[in-house]
Amino acid sequence: MKVSIRRLPNADGLPSPAYASDGAAGLDLHAALPPGQKLVLEPGARDLVPTGLSIALPKGYEAQVRPRSGLAAEHGVTVLNAPGTIDSDYRGEIKTLLINLGAQPFEIMRGMRIAQLVVAPVAHVTLVETDDLDLTARGAGGFGSTGRGGDDAP
Ligand SMILES: O=c1ccn([C@H]2C[C@H](O)[C@@H](COP(=O)(O)OP(=O)(O)OP(=O)(O)O)O2)c(=O)[nH]1
Ligand SMILES: [Mg+2]
């Protein structure tokens, strides 16, 4: 499927978002910080990091801004609102809201791969109000109800 993206001036010279392997689910997104500028995320701090890209998703699709597991595992850096939602009618710059949950300051340099973008189909539904939802074996059980009384208790 072809999807139009627009490269903004702050993405000049940066690699295009790309799948890092044949089967990768996400397109890696690069930090489009101003040249020569780095961003230091102190422990506990969050910041919006530009990607220099706008996208025109077809109706019926969304894009999710997801963390990179390497950054999370090695540095505690993740996407605060994961998965970030890019609406199909959004034409502004895609930004990534990063938070440093690690113990050390984390430096973000221009061009660094900071997150990944997963394009996925999304259902748009028509809600129909009723007092009569169909019955199921689970019923209202949730939040661990299937583990109680047994098998995965600590
Ligand atoms: O990680 C993100 C999340 C959102 N957005 C952009 C695209 C999205 O279409 C728009 C709105 O996002 P969302 O619906 O999550 O935010 P909101 O707080 O509900 O704002 P709005 O009232 O603009 O919908 O912001 C990003 O660039 N990055
Ligand atoms: Mg919204």
In the sheet with 84-86, reading across from the earlier edge strand, the strands are 18-19, 27-30, 113-121, 61-66, 84-86
Q: What is the DSSP letter of 150?
A: T
The whole-angstrom separation of Cα 76 and Cα 99 is 8
Q: Write out residues with Cβ below 6 Å of ligand 1.
A: 65, 81, 84-87, 90, 94-97
**Which ligand is located closest to the Cα atom of residue 52?**
1
CB atoms inside a 10 Å sphere around CB 108: 21
Ligand 1 atom with the shortest distance to the CA of 83: 1
CA neighbours within 13 Å on the CB side: how many for 39?
21
Query: For residue 7, what are the contacts with CB-CB under 8 A and spacing of at least 6?
Result: 16, 52, 53
pLDDT one-digit tens code per residue, 35-65: 999 999 999 999 999 999 999 999 999 999 9
> Which ligand sits nearest to residue 84's alpha carbon?
1
Q: Which ligand is nearest to the CA of 99?
A: 1
Indicate which residue's Cα is closest to atom 8 of ligand 1. 86
Half-sphere exposure of 120 (CA within 13 A, CB side): 16
Say whether 94 counts as a known binding-site residue: no
**How far is CA 99 from each of CA 112, 119, 140, rounded to the nearest angstrom?**
15, 22, 35
Among protein residues, the one with the nearest Cα to ligand 1's atom 10 is: 86
85 is in an annotated binding site: yes
The Cα–Cα gap between 90 and 135 comes to 38
Alpha-carbon radius of gyration of the chain: 20
pTM over 0.80: yes
Q: What is the pLDDT of residue 147?
A: 85
Q: Are 117 and 65 in contact, with CB atoms under 8 Å apart?
A: yes
154 residues of the chain, pLDDT tens digit each: 999 999 999 999 999 999 999 999 999 999 999 999 999 999 999 999 999 999 999 999 999 999 999 999 999 999 999 999 999 999 999 999 999 999 999 999 999 999 999 999 999 999 999 999 999 999 999 999 998 765 665 5
